[in-house]
Amino acid sequence: MELGMIGLGRMGASMVLRLQRAGHHCVVYDMSPKAVEAAAKQGATGTGSLEEFVKTLQKPRAVWLMVPAGVVDETLQKLTPLLEGDDVVIDGGNSYYHDDIRRAGELKEKGIHYVDAGTSGGVWGADRGY
């Protein structure tokens, strides 16, 4: 399976590591080139922009957002125009559920699927799971 991960903080980077260990392929993007480089050293495909990130993923794309709740809308504003129908966006952060309902409706109009999947597990998730 291939998954795109946007956000390589403690949890996002740990999730990529765990997925890679399980035989999945990850395409990654983060505002920090160092975070992308670190994930690439562990087998992920690193990208330097959202445009490159989306072009690198196989269709239909599965994009996991592991960014702070306060920047989900900003990230989606930049990401959505690059996506196509049947792509899937998964918000793994701790967004307010009313925001997720709104986002799902907005993306549905474009044929893009939206999944709210709040994730916990902390920094130990890479070893113990989420």
Residue-wise pLDDT tens digits, 27-67: 999 999 999 999 999 999 999 999 999 999 999 999 999 99
pLDDT of residue 116: 94
Contact 88, 28 (CB under 8 A): no
Residue-wise pLDDT tens digits, 68-111: 999 999 999 999 999 999 999 999 988 889 999 999 999 999 99
pLDDT of residue 123: 57
The token duo for 13 is 């980077």
Bridge partners (DSSP) listed for residue 113: 88
pLDDT of residue 119: 78
Please tell me the distance from the alpha carbon of residue 19 to that of residue 113, in angstroms, as a whole number.
22
Domain ranges (residues) in the chain:
2-128
Closest CA to 27 of 61, 48, 59, 56: 56
Q: Give the homologous superfamily in CATH for domain 2-128.
A: NAD(P)-binding Rossmann-like Domain (3.40.50.720)
